[in-house]
Amino acid sequence: MEIVAFGVQADERPLLEEAFDGHHQVRCLDVFLNRDTAPIAHGYEVVSTNVNADLSAEVLQTLAAGGTKMVAQRSTGFNNIDLEAAADLGLTIGRVSSYSPYAVAEFAWALALAVNRRLVRAAERTRNFDFRLDGLMGRDLHGRTAGVVGTGRIGEAFTRIAHGFGMKLLGWDLAENPECVALGMRYVPRERLFAEADLITLHVPLVDDTRHLVDAAALAAMKDDAILINSSRGGLVDTAALVETLKAGRLTGVGLDVYEEEAGLFFFDRSLDVINDDTLARLMTFANVLVTSHQAYFTEEAVGQIIATTVANVEDHLAGRTSEHMLVTRGQLPAAAR
Ligand SMILES: NC(=O)c1ccc[n+]([C@@H]2O[C@H](COP(=O)([O-])OP(=O)(O)OC[C@H]3O[C@@H](n4cnc5c(N)ncnc54)[C@H](O)[C@@H]3O)[C@@H](O)[C@H]2O)c1
């Protein structure tokens, strides 16, 4: 069978082709799935997509009308998929329910250390043989307080590293993670975490309850010299409110691997285009802000696991099986999602 895969990164392509080799042929496209590109999938029973694909009801209808029966999403988050619409259309939707949490946790730390110690500014300077230290002073993290919002798999991995740095640990989640408690984490109300933490990192999924969890009020509660890291989903942060906070000279550093309006920008070369997103353009002007292009998951280990699970999801679909990675199985939503 031939599968069509949308949004395949150059580094990912050989791994994807190799993983399907001997099972199925895979047609790798660098374009992302959206309203305009959905007709390409006509005639493909299985379509694979990545994190910023548009899997709205309209796009799902186009896929279903073209004969698609399964979408194999190559990510954990599925806030881009209209699951009800997929169920109504009788589709199967697979995703990768877990993979190396270390990839994302280590990247969140890379952002935290880079903004704290002004690494990007330092590297730009030394490349120009400017060896001054003006404006490069950071702070010891040892003894300071890390606030981990969401202590699931990635939050726990982040917490272990924070523990290694000798930080005090505050956590917020719907349920306590005993592994984090064992490391000395104290679970506190979210407002208290925002007010007391020196380093705040977000690891909850994007759902209705968590959208704009970091809003103007949360930002106002943070210490003036706090560091904010978001490597989860852009919609967790009210970016306009963040820009206002930064304009007021507050927050020591901000590291963002995700941005609420990233679809259509992240993963593409827009260097020659006019950027019409004024919020992102303003965000880029702050010297203490570091933005990366949703790359936290992008390690050999994590991508390898994502691809292996995607292959297994396709095989499960073809064999009529379901698994913990299936969000919808032939039109059936799991009971918990109904
Ligand atoms: N930047 C990247 O490349 C990248 C890669 C993978 C995952 N992510 C993001 O990281 C997030 C966390 O991943 P994980 O593997 O640690 O997930 P996880 O399911 O192990 O942990 C999520 C935690 O959030 C908590 N939570 C708090 N409020 C919640 C709510 N209202 N609804 C549901 N859960 C709530 C859960 O209880 C859980 O402990 C993912 O949802 C995804 O958005 C980003």
Per-residue model confidence as pLDDT tens digits over 184-204: 999 999 999 999 999 999 999
Residues that are catalytic: 233, 262
Least Cα distance to 234 among 80, 30, 119, 49 occurs for 80
Distance 151 CA to ligand 1 centre (A): 8
Among protein residues, the one with the nearest Cα to ligand 1's atom 35 is: 204
Q: Which residues contact 198 (CB under 8 A, 6 or more apart)?
A: 139, 141, 144, 145, 146, 223, 225, 226, 227
Distance 201 CA to ligand 1 centre (A): 12
Q: Which atom in ligand 1 lies closest to the alpha carbon of residue 208?
A: 31
Kind and range of the H or E element at 326?
Answer: strand 326-328
* pLDDT given at position 338: 45
The 10s digit of each residue's pLDDT in 221-250 is: 999 999 999 999 999 999 999 999 999 999
- Which of 78, 148, 154 best tests ligand 1's pocket when mutated (most atoms within 8 Å of CB)? 154
* pLDDT given at position 7: 96
Q: Which residues contact 134 (CB under 8 A, 6 or more apart)?
A: none
Q: Which atom in ligand 1 lies closest to the alpha carbon of residue 175?
A: 37
pLDDT in tens, the chain (338 residues): 999 999 999 999 999 999 999 889 999 999 999 999 999 999 999 999 998 899 999 999 999 999 999 999 999 989 899 999 999 999 999 999 999 999 999 999 999 999 999 999 999 999 999 999 999 999 999 999 999 999 999 999 999 999 999 999 999 999 999 999 999 999 999 999 999 999 999 999 999 999 999 999 999 999 999 999 999 999 999 999 999 999 999 999 999 999 999 988 999 999 999 999 999 999 999 999 999 999 999 999 999 999 999 999 999 999 999 999 999 999 999 865 54
Among protein residues, the one with the nearest Cα to ligand 1's atom 21 is: 152
Tokens representing 10? 């150059």
* pLDDT given at position 337: 53
101-291 shares the fold of 2-99+300-337: yes
Q: Per the CATH hierarchy, to which homologous superfamily does domain 101-291 belong? A: NAD(P)-binding Rossmann-like Domain (3.40.50.720)
Is the pTM higher than 0.85? The answer reads: yes
The runs of H, that is alpha helices, within 41-100 are 57-65, 83-88
The 10s digit of each residue's pLDDT in 92-117 is: 999 999 999 999 999 999 999 999 99
Domain ranges in the chain are 2-99+300-337, 101-291
Distance 324 CA to ligand 1 centre (A): 16
**Which residue is listed with tokens 């169920």?**
87
**Which residue is listed with tokens 């306590």?**
176
> Which overall architecture, per CATH, does domain 2-99+300-337 show?
3-Layer(aba) Sandwich (3.40)
Distance 220 CA to ligand 1 centre (A): 24
* pLDDT given at position 335: 60
> Residues with Cβ within 6 A of ligand 1?
76-77, 98, 101, 104, 150-155, 173-175, 203-207, 209-210, 231-233, 257-258, 294, 296-297
